[in-house]
Chain A
Amino acid sequence: MVVFDKPHALTDAPMHYCPGCLHGIVHRLVAEVIDELGIEGRTIGIAPVGCSVMAYNYFNCDMIEAAHGRAPAVATGVKRSDPENNIVFTYQGDGDLASIGMAETVHSAARNENITVIFINNAIYGMTGGQMAPTSLPGQVTQTSPYGRDVNHCGYPIRVCEMLSELDGPEYLERVTVNNVKNIKNAKKAIKKAFQNQIDGKGFSLVEVVSSCPTNWGMTPIDALKWIDDNMLPYYPLGVYKDRSAKKEEA
């Protein structure tokens, strides 16, 4: 009897991620949700530029690789091409979503574009070797902030969920993490809701996953998971930042 299997929505391609990287977990959660909702055949995923640039090899649904930061604009085109049938998700890192692609992020949220955004925030540029990200913490040492992020010189990190929650547009914004079993279960619930919202025509749903980067943080995978608890979560508190439908139900 098979008690634990690979989701159908994941391919057999070996992933290129570093040991201890959490992308594999989030990919699996997205794939499990696609399986459970039975939407693989009509789902089109948009991969970003960054560590998950080759996500198109790992998901079994149709995939598009977008220019850096432009995934929400590409997703907008795909969704508008066939709004009744296409289920569209983007999978983006912090540099992609919150730096070079911030305009596309904000405006697709403002339009309440009926898409699902999976946002991986690990406070660093992984693919290019560990540069300062828009979400790098104050004092965080990176390749391009070797003396620690000096907020007087290069400003403060951006809290994406909080910022977008000020907009009337988006339907659902939640921040989760995947550094332990309980948190992984919560993350899956949020991701499932973000896809279900799209199926129900509710609109823009973004799940921010606070993640790690053992390689570029210079830590063991275990230490990196702890660093999420000790450093990331105090700056990026978990929780639901917007849930328009739930609010309506309450009222």
Chain B
Amino acid sequence: MADKVLMKGNEAIAEAAILAGCKHYFGYPITPQTEIAAYMAKKMPKIGGCFLQAESEIAAINMVYGVASTGKRVMTSSSSPGISLKGEGLSYMAGSDLPCLVVNVQRGGPGLGGIQPSQSDYFQATKGGAHGDFRMIVLAPASVQEMAQLTVKGFELADKYRMTSMILADGTMGQMMEPVELDFEVKERPETPWATTGTKMEREHNIVNSLSLVAEELEKLNFERFERYKAVEENEAMYEEYMTEDADIIVAAFGIASRVSKNAINEARKQGIKVGLIRPITLWPFPKAPFEKAALTAKAFISVELSMGQMIEDVKLATGCKVPVTLCNRAGGMIPTPEQVLGAIIEAEKNGGAE
């Protein structure tokens, strides 16, 4: 077993990306994810890679677009307002079927918002995030170890499906320090015959492009892309279940909210309440199966979120509105306490599922 090192979540992402073979990073300063850029600035020159501080988030994502076009692993990172600026680029990446990794260490919004942790970019990340029909694979780490693991996984999925993988973390995940094991098996990358690497006068020219002026052709491209998305939904949903086997009440939570929820669940179990947790690890594709299954036996669901209630809509969809789903939340940079979650669990237990 490899040695464990104590790292910040943001640093774990940076180191894992390098281990995954990412030699190009472009970014623009924004709190609370600056450690990623700082780490890259230090490391990249030493490994023959490229760290470049871009003039804007928009330039950074387009530099990513450039490297991705050449078929190499590349990433950028930012926090909520910066991700909005990258929206244009994310749409173009999708339209040109380019793989890349984007990290969003979320902070409270809307607007300039604050710099404290938040999960309020859930809609933006999982429902498209910019113009046009497209999806991103959205990965939600709940520990520093997962920050690293999901970074490697994110690159692999991006390459496999030629699309953007987004790590949707938050300020706590980025800033907290935990022991990490950085011993990954990095899979071989798929070939990139589409990449613009120069024809070498040996093949027809490759074109990376998202323009398609003939509506019938553009429609076809959209349908083909969604076939790929369907494969992602069928094959790549990830989640963790905790004490769900006999649970009457199911808590749904990801990232930091899931850790708070586990504490509350442990306490509730001591009080004899049968409660468990479903923690989506992929937010898109949303892991519908465990929710569908639990909805057959559970009497209530609680969505615990650092937002005004965004994932709750997917929980309601996945459970087919068979049982009531309530919201337990804080917003604007505040984090629910285990006591607040415990209170919501006790409430659900008392009401026996009545909303």
Contacts and interface: CB of A to CB of B under 8 A. Distances in A.
A198 to B, nearest CB: 14
B91 to A, nearest CB: 8
Nearest to A60: B205
A145 B99 CA distance: 42
Interface string B179-209: 0000000000000000011111110011111
A66 B198 contact: no
B88 A67 contact: yes
Given A76-B52, A78-B67, A103-B56, A61 B198 contact: yes
Interface residues of A, number: 38
Contacts of B205: 11, 59-63
Interface stretch (A38-46, A164-172, A203-211): A38-46
A86 B198 contact: yes
B112 to A, nearest CB: 20
A41 B58 contact: no
Contact of A86 (B70, B92, B202, B209): B70
Contacts of A74: 62-63, 65-66, 69
Nearest to B89: A67
A44 B195 CA distance: 11
A91 to B, nearest CB: 14
Contact of B66 (A59, A76, A87): A76
B323 interface: no
B59 A70 contact: yes
Interface string A69-94: 01001111111111001110000000
Interface in B26-83: 26, 50, 52, 54-56, 58-60, 62-70, 72, 74
A123 B234 CA distance: 52
A40 B66 contact: no
Given A40-B201, A56-B209, A64 B56 contact: no
Contacts of A41: 198-202
A21 interface: no
A232 to B, nearest CB: 29
Contact of A64 (B54, B89, B196): B196
A63 B58 contact: no
Contacts, number: 133
A77 B199 contact: no
A162 interface: no
Interface string A15-58: 00000000000000000000000001111101000000110110
A163 B207 CA distance: 33
Contacts of B211: 53-54, 65
A159 interface: no
Contacts of B207: 56-57, 62-65
Contacts of B96: 65
A80 B50 CA distance: 7
A166 B65 CA distance: 29
Contacts of A62: 196-199, 205-207
B97 to A, nearest CB: 13
A49 to B, nearest CB: 8
Nearest to A113: B52
A10 to B, nearest CB: 11
A107 interface: yes
Nearest to A79: B66
A150 interface: no
A40 B72 CA distance: 21
Contact of A65 (B68, B72, B200, B209): B209
Contacts of A60: 199, 205
Given A40-B201, A63-B205, A73-B58, A80 B67 contact: yes
B351 interface: no
B54 A44 contact: no
B69 A78 contact: yes
A35 to B, nearest CB: 12
B66 A75 contact: yes
Contacts of A103: 55-56, 58-59
Nearest to B69: A64
B24 interface: yes
Contacts of B124: none
A64 B62 contact: no
Contact of A78 (B55, B66, B199, B210): B66
A211 B215 CA distance: 32
A77 B208 contact: no
Nearest to B98: A64
Nearest to A62: B196
A63 B208 contact: yes
Contact of A81 (B66, B92, B209): B66
Contacts of B55: 103-104, 106-107
Contact of B69 (A53, A77, A107): A77
Contacts of B64: 77
Given A41-B200, A62-B205, 4 more contacts: A42-B198, A63-B206, A64-B209, A104-B55
24 contacts: A11-B205, A40-B199, A41-B198, A41-B201, A44-B196, A46-B66, A54-B211, A62-B205, A63-B209, A64-B65, A64-B66, A64-B196, A65-B208, A67-B89, A70-B58, A70-B59, A74-B62, A77-B26, A77-B68, A80-B66, A80-B67, A81-B72, A104-B58, A104-B62
Interface of B: 24, 26, 50, 52, 54-56, 58-60, 62-70, 72, 74, 88-89, 92, 96, 196-202, 205-211
Give me the 8 closest cross-chain CB pairs, A-B, nearest first. A77-B66, A73-B62, A62-B196, A107-B55, A77-B63, A42-B198, A70-B62, A41-B201
